[in-house]
Amino acid sequence: MKIFLSGYMGSGKSLIAQKIALKLSFPLIDLDDQISLIEELTVPEIFKYKGELYFRRMETKILEDVLEDPSSLIVSLGGGTPCYGTNLDLIKNFPESKMVYLKASVEFLVKRLYKEKAQRPMINHLATQDDLEDFVRKHLFERGYYYNQSDLVVNVENRTPDDIANEIIEKLK
């Protein structure tokens, strides 16, 4: 089985993926980390020097490699992964795959993201919290179509990472 965690940036995909991987003893792949490792650049550096389109193409290539791996895996997707190209179809059409949407409100995401926006290439140019809220609201609306095609939707607000991981494991049994 391959479990793919999707959701907007700041929803906790990387942390929840780590928790699930530990609890199930499955290997973990974080797509952003894999791209950084291969490119020997951070995600913000890739966006700056090579552009978002290059990053998205790398994301698809690594996703294809992950799907070819015969192992059971926990995969933390980038926030835009299921929204780009044929990535959603690749995931949904793969046997034994489950996609989980870590759902959070705009307000929750803005509160989390504002503190760390300097490290996030998609939002580091936004000057105010209102600008960030407008950006997240628009982006979340556009991406909702893709996220909501997940096999499981889990609300992450006001919950511990362990509670969220346990719910996902229980519901995917």
Nearest to 86 by CA among 55, 66, 60: 60
pLDDT value of position 151: 96
For residue 133, pLDDT over 90 is answered with yes
Q: How confident is the model at residue 147 (pLDDT cuts 50, 70, 90)?
A: very high
pLDDT tens string 30-55: 999 999 999 999 988 998 999 999 99
Question: What contacts 130, CB < 8 A, 6 or more positions away?
Answer: none
More confident position, 157 or 44: 157
Q: How confident is the model at residue 68 (pLDDT cuts 50, 70, 90)?
A: very high
pLDDT value of position 11: 96
- Average pLDDT of the segment spanning 141-159: 96
Q: How confident is the model at residue 173 (pLDDT cuts 50, 70, 90)?
A: confident
For residue 90, pLDDT over 90 is answered with yes
| Percent over 70 (pLDDT), the chain | 100
Domains of the chain plus CATH, in order, are: 2-172 (3.40.50.300)
CA pseudo-torsion sign 70, 90, 10, 52? positive
pLDDT value of position 120: 87
Does residue 13 sit in helix, strand or coil? Answer: helix
Distance CA 69, CA 108 (A): 35
pLDDT value of position 46: 93
For residue 15, pLDDT over 90 is answered with yes
Q: How confident is the model at residue 77 (pLDDT cuts 50, 70, 90)?
A: very high
pLDDT value of position 121: 83
Q: What is residue 113's DSSP assignment?
A: H
pLDDT value of position 12: 95
- Average pLDDT of the segment spanning 114-133: 90
Distance CA 44, CA 122 (A): 8
Distance CA 36, CA 40 (A): 5
Which tokens is 99 given? Answer: 């996609």
**Own/partner pairs for 51-60, CB < 8 Å, 24+ apart?**
52/121, 56/80, 56/84, 56/85, 59/31, 59/35, 59/84, 59/87, 60/84, 60/85, 60/86, 60/87, 60/90
The total number of residues shown for the chain amounts to 173
